[in-house]
Structure formats: C-alpha cells, structure tokens
Amino acid sequence: MTEPADPRIVSAWGNNADLYEAVFDAHKLRYVRQARSFVALDHPPPYYSDLTFLAGTDVAGALAEVRKLVEREPRVATVKDATCRLDLARFGFRVLFEAYWVCAEAEQISPAGGGWQRIETSMELARWEEAWNSAGSPADRRVFVPDILKNPKTTVFGRLEENGFSAGCIANLSPDSVGVSNLFGEPVRAVVADAAALAKAFGGGLPVVGYSSGDELAAMLQAGFMEIGPLRVWIRERTTP
C-alpha cells in the first residue's frame, strides 16, 4: 500500500512538474507525465532529472522505472525522489543533494523591492542565463531557450543594474500554486524576499511553492515560507565499458 501524500507537497511537486513540462516543451523534448511521476524520454537539459517521483508512488513501480533507465542509459542520469523514500544505491546511484519543499501563503509575503523586470526577448534571456550560470549554475548548453518566453504560465524575472543582471528568478503558474525557482544574486535574503513577492504577484494570490537548501532555505524561512517535507536527488555517474 502506498502512503498518502501531503497535499502541500502534491501541489509543490505538481508545480515543479509543470515547470518541467514548460522547459521540455521549449526544447521540443519528449516526456511522459503521470499523476505521480515525470519520465524524460529524451536526455533532459542540465539540472533536470530523468525521473521524478511524488509521494504515494508505488515503490516497486518506481524502482522498476529506475531499472529501465539504468538499462537503457549508460550516461549520467538523475532521479528526483520527492519524499526521500527510495534507496537507489543498489543501482549505482549516489545522493547528489537533499533539500526541502517550501510553501508560503500569499499574505505572508511582503512586496518586492525595485529594479526588477520581466524578461521578454531572447537577447535578454541569454544575458539572464549567462548571469545565472556565473552565479553558480554552470551548464554546457542552454537550459532556458527562447521558446520558454512563449509560455504564458512561465515567466523569468531579472534585477537589472549597470553591468547586467545581478539577480533573477523564474515563476511558473499552476492551478493551485505558483512556483519560484532558479534564484540567484546577492544579498540572498533580499533576493529571496523579492523573488517570492514577484511570484506572488504572478500567481494572483495563490500559495507560493518551491524547494531549497542551505542559505537560500534559511532566507526563505525568514521570508514567510515553511518547510513541508524533504526531497532527495540521486545521480548515477557515467559508466565505462
């Protein structure tokens, strides 16, 4: 029997899966989304997992999906376990990182500071992604391609200064929540507070959700978020013949 999922985590996971859909669609990559899993059929962009599983997923079924992934893909692969229920060491995976899902009601979030703008052109997006890369998210190829800007439920925000974008975030809208992700910039506490406020405005009063760790998580808790449960991302390194 599968365990019931916390409805707040279901909402946060669903919002994260909605962002996956937006990014995969922008790249024209294939995937299968089910009620409690997101399966990439093509090699995902950097920082996106091959498999993601929600609480309540049948463990045996999830492990069967992981086994199929290992059999078909000798390359690097990642699995996002939304509630830390899976042990993937037997398949050659190791823990890449752990984090916490977070949620804040709209009334807990203060208004944003100034200097932020919505990214609207492919040139602005390229500059934004370059700043995001430099701030600690290096990638060997584009993650956010121009077609992402065509999705009305996803928007990119940047804080523009003389030398370019000094901070940024992404907000994406779901029926019951709005997500905030891909934050970068200093000071962390101010960036987190502003990003939450921008997501709140984009969501029109819906709860703001996401996941985080470390200093960013601490700043989120100060900004009105609460931890609602752990998640874990596993990675399997490239195998050699």
The mean per-residue pLDDT over the stretch 218-224 comes to 96
- Where in the sequence of the chain do the CATH 3.40.630.30 domains occur? 104-227
Query: How far is Cα 155 from Cα 118, in angstroms, rounded to an integer?
Result: 7
* 150 CB-side CA count, 13 A: 7
Q: Enumerate the β-bridge partners of residue 231.
A: 99
Query: How far is Cα 108 from Cα 98, in angstroms, rounded to an integer?
Result: 25
Q: What is the pLDDT of residues 44-78, one digit of tens each?
A: 999 999 999 986 677 888 888 899 888 887 778 99
Runs of H (alpha helix) within the chain? 7-27, 59-72, 122-134, 188-203, 214-222
**pTM of the shown model:** 0.94
Query: How far is Cα 68 from Cα 37, in angstroms, rounded to an integer?
Result: 14
The mean per-residue pLDDT over the stretch 199-228 comes to 97
pLDDT at 73: 72
Does domain 104-227 match CATH 2.20.25.90?
Answer: no
Length in residues, the chain = 241
Lowest mean pLDDT among 39-43, 103-107, 108-112: 108-112
Q: Enumerate the β-bridge partners of residue 18.
A: none
- The two structure tokens encoding residue 30: 């294939």
Supply the mean pLDDT for the chain.
Answer: 93
